[in-house]
Structure 1
């Protein structure tokens, strides 16, 4: 049985679309790969930047429901602490 890998905030920060080709962000403890999304092509989507935990930002002002994340692959969990 495969386990979901954990990534630290520092490892997540490297997946910002600038330092490495991967474009990831965390939301509610899960890390989503949005590399193939044309909306995240430069590592940002409107005022949101990849490579970080976007939970507070998305919960506060996302114009869409959380279901929009269903089309993206979860690559891991955000390691707390």
Structure 2
């Protein structure tokens, strides 16, 4: 049986690939958050890390950056505000 005109086995593979990408991105985000919380990095270093994670998200999901921002950017902001060290003068 086809789903949206796509053969079922291909549809299943596409869904599994998407699920893998989502889990991979979640792991990257969680790792970045833990680094900001524990590595004693400056605010600028933390922002650079977030930009790298966002770039990876854009490669994985090029049409979903608004969703990424909605889900993750407030989390990153909160962690940076709480844990990042001030930038050197």
Q: Please, what TM-score do these two structures have when normalized by structure 2?
A: 0.25
Structure with larger Rg: 2
Q: Which has the higher strand share?
A: 1
Q: Please, what TM-score do these two structures have when normalized by structure 1?
A: 0.27
